[in-house]
Amino acid sequence: METRHTTLFLHGGFGWHCAVERVWFGDALPVLWWDQPSVAAEPEPYAALVRNAASGLRAMSASAGAPINLIAHSFGGQLAATLAAEHGELIRSITLLGCPPSPLTAFFHFARQRLNLSPERSELKAALTALEACRDMGSLMTLVQACYPDGALPDSYFGPDAEDVKTRYFDIASRSPGLDVATFMAVMQDFLHTRPPAPANSYAGEVKLLMGLHDPLLSVTEDGDKWLKVFPRAEIQTCQAGHFVQLELPPDIWCAEQ
C-alpha cells in the first residue's frame, strides 16, 4: 500500500465494495477504498472479514509510520467498532457515516419506513412481524425481499435535495460489480447469533458520527444512544443527507485529511 493513503474506508453492505466511491472520487483523496473479500466459504465469515480488514489496517499504519484515520459507511460501522476494540492503537480517528448500530436494526427501521409510506403492503407487514418474533435467516431474507422487491435501492436512500447525486450513483452502480450474495448471507447469519459490538476501551482517539436526517436505515436518537455505548466520547452530528453521506456531503465534512 502507498504511503499517500492516510485513511482506510470501510464500505457499507456485507458482500459489497467501493467501486462507486473509487470512480466518484478518483485519486482526489488520501483514501484507500477497501473492497471486502468473499468470505462465504469461511467457517466464521464475519471473523474472516475482520482479519482481512485488520491486515489492511496494519499494513497502512506501517507504511504511514503512524496510526491512520478510519471512515466507515453503513454496515462498515460494525467492522470499525471491532477494529477499534481489537486494534485501537493503530487508529487515529474514526468517522461513521450513516452507520446502523446493527444490521438487523437497519432492516427494522427501513421496513417500518416503507410501511409508513405504503401501509397497504400486507406482505411487508407480515415479514416484519415474523422477523420481530423469530430472528432466523429465513425470516430475515423474507423481509429483505419484501423491502427490495425488484432488487434495487429505492429513491428514499437519498435526501430530498440529492437528485443529481442519485442519478450519478445509479449510473456508476449500473457499470459496477453486483452484491456478493453468498457473502452477504453468510455474514448476516453470523450476525443473527452475535452480540452488539463491545465498548472500544482500547481506543482513545476521536469518533464522529454523521447521521443523515433523511436516512431510512437510522433512528437518530435511538441509534445514537446505542453507538454511545460503544464509543462513549463520540461526537454525534446530524446532517441534511440520506444514507450515502459520503456522496451527498463534501469531503471536507467527513474526511479528516485531504
Which three cell numbers, joined as nine digits, stand for 203?
Answer: 481506543
Q: What does the chain come to in residues?
A: 258
Domains defined along the chain, listed by start: 7-102+156-254 (3.40.50.1820), 106-147 (no CATH)
Per-residue pLDDT tens digits of the chain, which is 258 residues long: 344 789 999 998 888 899 999 999 999 999 999 999 999 999 999 999 999 999 999 999 999 999 999 999 999 999 999 999 999 999 999 999 999 998 888 999 999 999 998 999 999 999 999 999 988 899 999 999 999 988 788 899 999 999 999 999 999 999 999 889 999 999 988 887 766 666 667 788 999 999 999 999 999 999 999 999 999 999 999 999 999 999 999 999 999 775
Helix axes 122-133, 137-147, angle to 10 degrees: 150
Residue pLDDT, tens place only, 188-239 = 888 877 666 666 677 889 999 999 999 999 999 999 999 999 999 999 999 9
CA-atom Rg of the chain in angstroms: 18
Strands 206-212 and 7-10: unpaired
Q: Which amino acid, residue 18? A: C
pTM, to two decimals: 0.93
| Contacts for 192 with CB less than 8 Å, ≥ 6 apart | 104, 135, 136, 137, 140
DSSP line for 12-42: SSTT--SHHHHHHHTTSSSEEEEPPPP-TTS
Q: Are 93 and 206 in contact (CB under 8 A)?
A: yes
Name the DSSP letter for residue 239: E
3-state secondary structure of 10: strand
DSSP line for 141-173: HHHHHHHSTTSS--GGGS-TT-HHHHHHHHHHH
Q: Are 202 and 53 in contact (CB under 8 A)?
A: no
- Rounded Cα–Cα distance for residues 33 and 204 (Å): 24
- Rounded Cα–Cα distance for residues 58 and 61 (Å): 5
3-state secondary structure of 94: strand
